[in-house]
Structure 1
């Protein structure tokens, strides 16, 4: 009887993505099966390239879906590191609407 682990890949291929205002990072990585998002980020070197990253506070995801740092990665996952918002989207929308209302009255 064949062992189930004989079909497991020796490594999986992922990407680590991070975008800041002046530069975008897309790092292709090969990691062992069972690697978590946190382990992949730490092993990718992205923190050295962009030292402002703080995954203890910032959100992360896979293909635009929020995930926790202990999420185990699968083949071809794209880990995305999200910067904190600098403005509340609701406040921004409200200000744009108020601005339009003022222009209409003028």
Structure 2
């Protein structure tokens, strides 16, 4: 058995669960076993991106957890950072034109 943490930060609250799972459990299976879905029914644990200590896990169905791992459940982005940056630059350029 290995002890891990499963964390999720919603807009209004965050939860950290300590979970003990059998050795060899996949990252995705460990998240599903944590019971976090009961606290956040809007989560789609079958498809949501997962990470360990801030690094995205590409093969969450295959990669086994290790003792002490902190598995993070990521929310989808509300806005594309590149698009936000592009809009901000366009707004700044327009402001410069108007002040000239």
The gaps in structure 2 that reach 5 residues or longer are: none
Deviation for aligned residue 1:74: 0.4
73, 78, 83: which is aligned to 1:81? 73
The gaps in structure 1 that reach 5 residues or longer are: 1-10
The match for 1:69 is: 60
Q: Describe the superposition over 1:4-25 as per-residue Cα deviations: whole angstroms up to 9, x where unpaired.
A: xxxxxxx211100111100101
Following the alignment from structure 2 to structure 1, what is the Cα–Cα distance between the partners of residues 76 and 46?
12
The match for 1:37 is: 27
> Equivalences for 1:1-106 in 2 at 5 Å?
11-67=1-57, 68-70=59-61, 71-106=63-98
> TM-score w.r.t. structure 2 length?
0.88
Of the two, which has the highest radius of gyration?
Answer: 1
Following the alignment from structure 1 to structure 2, what is the Cα–Cα distance between the partners of residues 78 and 20?
17
Aligned length: 96
Deviation for aligned residue 1:35: 1.1
The match for 1:4 is: none
